[in-house]
Structures are given as structure tokens and as C-alpha cells.
Structure 1
Amino acid sequence: MPSQAIIAIVVVVLLLALLIASLKVVREYERLVVFRLGRLRGPLGPGLVFMLPFLDRSVRVDQRVVTLTIPPQEVITRDNVTARVNAVVMFKVADPVRSVMAVENHAVATSQFAQTTLRSVVGRADLDTLLAHRADLNEDLYRSIAQQAVPWGVDVAVVEIKDVEIPEMMQRAMARQAEAERERRAKVISAHGELEASEELRDAAKTLSEAPASLQLRYLQTLLELGADQNSTVVFPLPMDIIGPLMGALEHLAPGTSAPTEPKAGRTSTETRGLAVVDDSAEGRSR
């Protein structure tokens, strides 16, 4: 009897061990693709899954989003510029059965195809498109990779070009180009400013010519501004219509008049056609 009890205990222990080995816990984000004697049973889970020991084989598939970094690729653009480009691909398994049955390793297959597609898409674009219109290239990459990954049961979510490295010589050339472009825009803006200022001055001249008194007021305002700086010499223009008759009268009177008298001490004046210079310095006042 003791031997029969021992045998019963051993049998019970073996059955419990087989039962425990037959039970598997599958998490919510996982699926088990089970094969019984080589034939597909289908995806099982989540929760507690029962499998026959020594008869069932399972492959655990993770359905969470996977971030795959594509290594830097040496690419020659359409305008013959060598660049190093890397990208990132985000995907997840949408069909666990096809991800196991259609491809040996869906992650490696997606990575290799993404590298090939990246070189192909970037090689069809020029450098300016690669730097300034990266969203269009991302869209082309996404369509190509997502279409190829569908038979593998993989759903591609995002494909983005992460970094672009260009030769240092090309970087210096682009910096010089950007600097020249900024100088060109500065000159254009300055020219537009000069044009607008000349138009405003023309309108102001027309307005002043309609009212001669306003021109005299402008002269007085200018003299007031110059006098506020304690200047000893004041130079201001005179219109020809004011001094023209005076110069004509002096020419008529020149043969019959005597030499001009000396100017008063302390003030020296010189008159030219359209220009008057008045020296009111401290040295002139001392004389």
C-alpha cells in the first residue's frame, strides 16, 4: 500500500506539472500564434491559454508600436550632392498570423526595405527639396513602405527623415548663398525706401510751391534748429527768385557806383548766387 500511495502521488504531481506547463498567460498587447503538430491553430489570447504539451508550439507576437531607426545611408541626390540621411519608422503588427506566416522576421524585413526605399526616394530629389520640402519626401516614403508591409501583417504609422548631413564645403557654399541673398534683400528694401522718400519729397515740394509763405516758415524753422546747437557759422540756401532781381540791379548800378564800403566790425558776410554764409563767431565779435 505505501508503494501504491507513492505511485499515486507521483502521478498527481506529474499531472499537475503537465497542467501547469499547458497553461500560458498572454498579456493584453500580445498574441500567441499556435501550431499543433505543424498545423496552424490561430492566434490565441489575451488571458489564460491552454496548450497541449509536446504537441503545440507557439510564437509570441507583440502588437505594440515599434520604433525602428534606419541607419545613416550614403545618398547621391539628383543634383549630384552626397548626403548622409537617416530616418525613423514606427509600425505595429496588425495581423499576427501573417507576421509569422508571410515573413521570417517582420522587423528585419521592414528595416531592410525602409533603407532601400530611403535611398531610392532621396536619390530622386535635389538638395533644396531634401532640406526645404522634407514633408513631401516623408509622404513618399510612407506610401512606399506601408504598401510593401501590408502583406506581412504590419501597419506602418509614421516614416520621418530624422537628420541630413551634407559635406562641409557645401555648407560653406550655402552660407555664402544665404548671406548674398540677405544682402540683395537689404539693397532692394533700401532702394524701395529711397523711392518712397523721393515721392514724399516731391509731394512736399509741390505743396510748398503752392504757398510761398510756407517756404519762408520752413527757413525760419531751420534757422531755429541750427541756432539751438550754438553754431558760429550758418549756411542756408536762398532761392534764385529772391536774389535774382537784386543781382540784376547791382549789375546795372556797377559802372556808376563807387567801391563797396567795408563791412562792419564783428560780422563778415559773403554772398554768392543762391548761397549765403554768415560768420557770427566769437573771434569776429572781438574784432
Structure 2
Amino acid sequence: MEVFVFDWITYLLGFALLILFLQAAIYIFREYERGVLFTLGRFTRVSGPGFVLIIPFVQQFVRTDLRMFVEDVPSQDVISRDNVSVQVNAVIYFRIVDPQRAIINVADFRAAVSQLAQTTLRSVLGKHELDEMLAERDKLNADIQEILDRQTDAWGIKVANVEIKHVDIDESMVRAIAKQAEAERLRRARVINAEGEYQAAAKLVDAAKLLATQPNSMQLRYFNALSDIATDKTSTVVFPLPVDLLPKGKTQEG
């Protein structure tokens, strides 16, 4: 009886060890996952997706995710080239393209990308004026993305996109920008008014030249002006009458 019980315990222990062995030896990677395999601490290969079998305790896998990561860059205090203090935050989209370099060349690639993005954001925006930060965000996004992508290439990281979300300005600077915009609109209004006066003066010169070719046409303009004024019966009109229009007899008596 004791031998029978001992055999059952042995079988159970052997079955448990087999389960533990298989659990440590079998890896299943999803479609978006890859495994970086190390054999006795040395890099062997990148495996996945699907079913992978390894030698437990001799080989070890480190999982990586190939999906897009979204990293929020905290607000950074930036002094623009025209000495304006602003707070800027952004968001970065990146993914792993080389699992081997992402695991071997950097300890924590997400933290590394985040810190690099913060310093790059301050460095790039500090070279531009405030107006450029507000009006040329697409260009700034492209510049930051290009710098980050070039520097993270050694880590097996591809920076797909960078978007500046907010540019926070001090309240006093907001009022100054509003005054500047108002002054710009006033300048445009004055320029448009001056151009209108210039065009009107040019047309008057042309009209005067045309009227000078026919002296009698000036009398017709007098009559037209008198007709326009006569519609208002509450005013007294003093209209100059050319001497040429008076009868010759009355002019002689005068």
C-alpha cells in the first residue's frame, strides 16, 4: 500500500514538473508582439508572432510591442527668440521598428523618448519668435519630428508624428498681441482709404481733361449739379452763372 501511494506521489510530482517545464518553454506572441531571445545572456534572435519553444533557464525572452505609442510631453517653459516666455506642451507618436536595438541599446525606451522630446521641444522653439510658434505649427512639428526621428534611430524607434497642442501665453502678452492686431487692422484701413483717394483723384484728372476738350460740357455739369441740389427745398442755393449765358442787351445795360 505504501509503495502504491509513493508511486502516485512520484507521478504527480513528475506531471507538475512537466507542466512547469512546458509553461517556461512555450511562448505565444500576438500579431503585434515580438520576442527578443537571449541564450545564456547573449542575443540570439527576434522571434514571433505565433508559437515559439525555448529551453527554460538557458534561454529567455523579452517581449516588445510593435504598436504605436502615444507619449504626452509635459508643459515646457520656453523663451522665444524675441524674449517672450511661453508654456508649450505636445504629444509624440512613435513605435518600435527594430526590437533588438530597442531592448539592447536603451534601458527604457519610453522614458528616453520622453526626455529627449522635452529637451528637443525647448531647443527648437527657442530658435523661433512667438508669431512663428502661433502661425507655423506645421513647420515646427515637422522640424521636431525630424530631429527626434534622427536621434532615436539608434534605439530602433521610429517617430511618426509630433503635434504641438497648446502654446500658453501670459495675460499681458495676450493684451499686447490684441493691440498689435488692432493697429494692423487700422493700418490696413488707412492704406485702403489712401488707395481709394488716389484712384478717385486719378479719375477726376481724367474727367477734367475730357471736359477741357469741350468747354460747353462744363455748363451741362453746372445744370446737373443745380438739379441735384434743387431736390432739397429747405436750403438756399447760390449758383454762379457764367457771363456768356446772359443776353447781350442786359450785359450792355449793366
Q: Per the shorter chain, which TM-score range? A: 0.7 to 0.9
TM-score with structure 1 setting the length: 0.75
Shift of 1:97: 0.8
Larger radius of gyration: 1
TM-score with structure 2 setting the length: 0.84
Identify the residue that residue 196 of structure 1 maps to in structure 2: 199
Letter in 2 for 1:209: A
Question: CA 1:251–1:17 in structure 2 vs 1: closer, same or farther (change >3 Å)?
Answer: same
Letter in 2 for 1:231: K
Question: CA 1:63–1:207 in structure 2 vs 1: closer, same or farther (change >3 Å)?
Answer: same
Letter in 2 for 1:160: E
Identify the residue that residue 65 of structure 1 maps to in structure 2: 68
Alpha-carbon separation, structure 1, partners of 2:133 and 2:9: 77
Unaligned runs of 5+ in 2: none
Letter in 2 for 1:29: Y
Identify the residue that residue 157 of structure 1 maps to in structure 2: 160
Measured against aligned partners, the alpha-carbon deviations of 1:134-182 in whole angstroms (never above 9, x if no partner) come to 3443333223222211111111112233221222112211211111111
Kept in 2, the 8 Å contact 1:226–1:234? The answer is no
Q: Sequence identity, in percent?
A: 43
Alignment of 1:162-241 (within 5 A): 162-227=165-230, 229=231, 231-235=233-237, 237-238=239-240
Alpha-carbon separation, structure 2, partners of 1:236 and 1:182: 42
Shift of 1:117: 1.5
Does 2:52 correspond to 1:55? Answer: no
Alignment of 1:97-136 (within 5 A): 97-136=100-139
Identify the residue that residue 281 of structure 1 maps to in structure 2: none
SS of structure 2 residue aligned to 1:87: strand
Alpha-carbon separation, structure 2, partners of 1:145 and 1:232: 79
SS of structure 2 residue aligned to 1:52: coil
Higher relative contact order (CA 8 A, sep 6+): 2
- Which of 58-67 and 203-212 deviates more? 203-212
Unaligned runs of 5+ in 1: 255-287
Identify the residue that residue 35 of structure 2 maps to in structure 1: 32
Identify the residue that residue 243 of structure 2 maps to in structure 1: 243
